[in-house]
Structure 1
Amino acid sequence: MGLARKRISIAALVVALSGSSALAGGFQRGTADTDILFEPGTVNSRASITYIDPQRGFTSLNGVDGDYSTYTGDYGIPSYAVAVGNDMIGCAGTATEPFAANADYSGLPGGALPAQVSSTQSMSTADRTNFAAASSIARVQKLSFKSSEFGLTCRLSYTSGSSRYSLLGGAFVEDFHFEGTSLGSTYLAPGVPFTVATSRIDVESDGAYKPGFRIGAAYEIPEYALRIQAMYRSEVKHDDISGDGTVTILSSLVPTLPAGTVIPVNSFLSEAISPQSVEIKAQTGIAPGWLVLGSFRWTDWSTNQVSVSSISNAAAGISSSSYAPYHWRDGYTAQIGVGHAFTDQISAALGVGYDRGVSTGSETTYTDLYTLVGGLSYKPAKAVDIRFGGVVGYWTDGSQSISKGSYYNATVGNDMVYGLNASLKISF
């Protein structure tokens, strides 16, 4: 039994590391640490932090090749979990950052992405590239969003012979926070591309906490460190994302609107959906001190089609927007790994993974990703488990085009992703 428990600890290590590679599957970042429900002990707590450095950059923009800088930013993924229970029942409180993204395009020519028509609220590429009718244009410079999740998941188990059957279920709440910066140009009149003012638009919008649920099941034979589990996470819709911002005049030919003028605005973001997903995990011991495990996850990223960020100030006559077309397809992520317990204190694990890119040609950041993950577990005491790990990922090249729903043409090359992970578990 002690050896089986040791193997399960290795499995948790690899799963924690492989989760860091899920950044390729759209905006996925952290997942709730519900695996802590299967840890031995009456009380378990685990805290971890994962650092990811995705090095994605354009190799061409609108047909012009260049050595453009990396636009994806590095980030950290926190995760916290506390579980209380026994072999029959248990509950875990979890906290993480499930979805997020950040991009900085200030290193591109002109300090931002190519222009789009901003004097419209349309989600149509044809309207966003119809510069002949534009009264203003915008170029996205920076954008970021993140969500925080707090959840409670419980396990109800039944033991029959050497097998244990478990039902899993719980609820969570998730919020949404968005920030964006764009560079704008206002024309003399619609269809007359004579610039009378340039500006920088900064916005910050928030969506309230919305509820969701997760439900699953597991089958175990602890003697052989065998466990098969499936977990479903529900979709969450954020349809109340609003806030405020400013329009700072950079240059102007309008006497009543000199450079340096700051105009307050209201900001809004179209509906954002955290997609539903299903994850299946399996592990089994194959020899004394050795364990094999794998996982497969489907994520409904096809719900992410188009996002529109808009601003308004009726008194100042301001009404404009910028949009981001995605038109993603569903994401599939698979991993397989092997772990080995060298001693009662030291274990190690190694795994490989594949994530099918969700990009379809409207946006080309999230292409196919291949990953190699590894980690080390050290138990200085019976109740303490310290883990360190790393991930190296290979992003395949890709392209986007106006003909496939984007508002500009671009390509990305074969890029790398690097990451580090550290966690501490204390049991009672």
Structure 2
Amino acid sequence: MNKLMSTVALLALTTSGAIAGGIERVAPSTGILFEDGEYAEFSISSVSPTISGSIGGGAVPSGDMAQAYQNWSFGYKRDLSDQLALAVTVNQPYGASVAYPSAAAPYPFNGATAELSTLAVNGMLRYRMPNNVSVFGGIRLQSMKGDISLPTGGGPYALNVPAEWDVGYALGVAYERPDIALRVALSYNSEITHGFSDNTGNPFDVVTPQSVNLEFQSGIAQNTLLFGSIHWVDWATTDITPPEYPGGALVDYTESTTTYNLGIGRKFNETWSGAVMVGYEPSGGTPTGNLGPTDGNTSIGLAATWTQDNVKITGGIRYIDIGDATTSTINASFTDNHAVAAGIKMSVNF
């Protein structure tokens, strides 16, 4: 079953790195803590969204306002003793890349751009108890920086904030039955507050929200694995509101999101295994910000893993049907949008 887990993990990467709730690009996962022995992995994914809308029943189109982006992650795990394991991961958990075409005039946000990026270094320890239960926890060190330009749509306004590093934590518990490849892991990730200053020196905070993640898997037949996750994020705590900006919040969320994923993996032979996964994030039904005009999604993904000795290479692709949204302020309608995410991962057991 371990050969299947690289396939599963890659599908998770191309899922959460696509179009998730809020500004999340990579949902937290504890899977690396359960790899055998000494282990390292590197993943890279690319997401190509198409997101456009209009006002006035289609009379004034926005043009495609979403840019393609890439995401990468690295992880290393080793056993410190029979009971204790250490894992270190580096990834880019949150981000945004917005560019309304200038040619979309007279659309109110024509020419508006926004870029937000993060980098996180996570250290986790897992302690395994004799009764198939393990507990884990660690520190999350995260940086955030951003750049926004609004020639119109509340502008002209521009703001650039340099990278700010801050700290959070993660805690969790897991139960395993190795004889049937059963594992259920529940983890909590704290919010992290980043403090910035606007152009006039006024302070403001940006919070990346607390979340709860339930990951599960179980063998259901010889060489066949059922797996999935439920991911809840408290987006109501997140807003970006520089005091000097006359239009109020640049980014503001009123509801939490819950994302569901379910899949089946299959080992075909000693060299090849594969998996299919479906995902669903319900629509909140409330107006969204003009810099993030999406509301829920439905997706399907495929991945395959090639194994040779202690090396595994996995490739995956996912199609995401993006939920329709109506934006606040200008009441624009965004419908019939989608994204394609693809990724590749290489892992080694030492």
TM-score between the two structures when normalised by the length of structure 1: 0.75
Aligned counterparts, 1:214-233, within 5 A: 214-233=170-189
In structure 1, the residue matched to 2:143 is 175
Counterpart selection for 1:376 from 273, 293, 304 = 304
Aligned counterparts, 1:116-195, within 5 A: 141-160=112-131, 164-183=132-151
Instruction: Report the Cα offset of residue 10 of structure 1.
Output: 4.1
In structure 2, the residue matched to 1:204 is 160
Q: Supply the distance in 2 between the matched residues of 1:89 and 1:169 (Cα, whole angstroms).
A: 12
Counterpart selection for 2:48 from 37, 47, 53 = 53
Instruction: Report the Cα offset of residue 79 of structure 1.
Output: 0.7
- Does residue 351 (structure 1) correspond to residue 277 (structure 2)? The answer is yes
- Does residue 299 (structure 1) correspond to residue 221 (structure 2)? The answer is no
Instruction: Report the Cα offset of residue 207 of structure 1.
Output: 4.8
Instruction: Report the Cα offset of residue 218 of structure 1.
Output: 0.6
1:335-393 per-position Cα deviation (integer Å, ceiling 9, x unaligned) = 1000000011110000100012456214361212000011011112x211101000101
Evaluate the alpha carbon distance shift between residue 71 and residue 268 of structure 1 in structure 2; reply closer, same or farther with a 3 A threshold: farther
Amino acid across the alignment from 1:170: G
Evaluate the alpha carbon distance shift between residue 183 and residue 15 of structure 1 in structure 2; reply closer, same or farther with a 3 A threshold: closer
SS of 2:151's equivalent in the other structure is strand
Contact kept, 8 Å, 1:32 with 1:95, in 2: the verdict is: no
In structure 2, the residue matched to 1:190 is none
Instruction: Report the Cα offset of residue 52 of structure 1.
Output: 0.7
Counterpart selection for 2:21 from 18, 22, 25 = 25
Counterpart selection for 1:409 from 320, 328, 331 = 331
Q: Supply the distance in 1 between the matched residues of 2:140 and 2:264 (Cα, whole angstroms).
A: 32
Instruction: Report the Cα offset of residue 407 of structure 1.
Output: 2.1
- Does residue 104 (structure 1) correspond to residue 30 (structure 2)? The answer is no
Contact kept, 8 Å, 1:24 with 1:357, in 2: the verdict is: no
Evaluate the alpha carbon distance shift between residue 226 and residue 87 of structure 1 in structure 2; reply closer, same or farther with a 3 A threshold: farther
Q: Percent identity?
A: 23
Aligned counterparts, 1:76-115, within 5 A: 76-85=70-79, 87-107=82-102, 109-110=104-105, 113-114=108-109
Amino acid across the alignment from 2:84: I
SS of 2:17's equivalent in the other structure is helix
1:298-354 per-position Cα deviation (integer Å, ceiling 9, x unaligned) = 00011234533748xxxxxxxx67742533311000010000000111100001000
Q: Supply the distance in 2 between the matched residues of 1:321 and 1:287 (Cα, whole angstroms).
A: 57
Contact kept, 8 Å, 2:6 with 2:314, in 1: the verdict is: no
In structure 2, the residue matched to 1:12 is 9
1:222-253 per-position Cα deviation (integer Å, ceiling 9, x unaligned) = 12111000111100111x2137xxxxxxxxxx
Counterpart selection for 1:419 from 330, 338, 341 = 341
Amino acid across the alignment from 1:37: L
Evaluate the alpha carbon distance shift between residue 390 and residue 267 of structure 1 in structure 2; reply closer, same or farther with a 3 A threshold: farther
Amino acid across the alignment from 1:307: T
Counterpart selection for 2:216 from 278, 282, 307 = 282
Contact kept, 8 Å, 1:34 with 1:94, in 2: the verdict is: no
Amino acid across the alignment from 2:197: S
Evaluate the alpha carbon distance shift between residue 368 and residue 284 of structure 1 in structure 2; reply closer, same or farther with a 3 A threshold: same
Amino acid across the alignment from 1:236: I
Evaluate the alpha carbon distance shift between residue 395 and residue 376 of structure 1 in structure 2; reply closer, same or farther with a 3 A threshold: same
- Does residue 242 (structure 1) correspond to residue 197 (structure 2)? The answer is yes
Amino acid across the alignment from 1:392: Y
Counterpart selection for 2:252 from 320, 323, 326 = 326
- Please, what is the CA RMSD of the aligned residues? 2.6
Evaluate the alpha carbon distance shift between residue 50 and residue 357 of structure 1 in structure 2; reply closer, same or farther with a 3 A threshold: farther
Q: Supply the distance in 2 between the matched residues of 1:19 and 1:50 (Cα, whole angstroms).
A: 11
In structure 1, the residue matched to 2:268 is 342
Instruction: Report the Cα offset of residue 61 of structure 1.
Output: 2.3
In structure 1, the residue matched to 2:293 is 365
Q: Supply the distance in 1 between the matched residues of 2:285 and 2:82 (Cα, whole angstroms).
A: 43
Contact kept, 8 Å, 1:47 with 1:81, in 2: the verdict is: yes
SS of 2:236's equivalent in the other structure is helix
Evaluate the alpha carbon distance shift between residue 426 and residue 326 of structure 1 in structure 2; reply closer, same or farther with a 3 A threshold: same
Unpaired runs of at least 5, structure 1 = 115-138, 186-198, 244-264, 312-319, 401-405
Unpaired runs of at least 5, structure 2 = none
SS of 2:255's equivalent in the other structure is coil
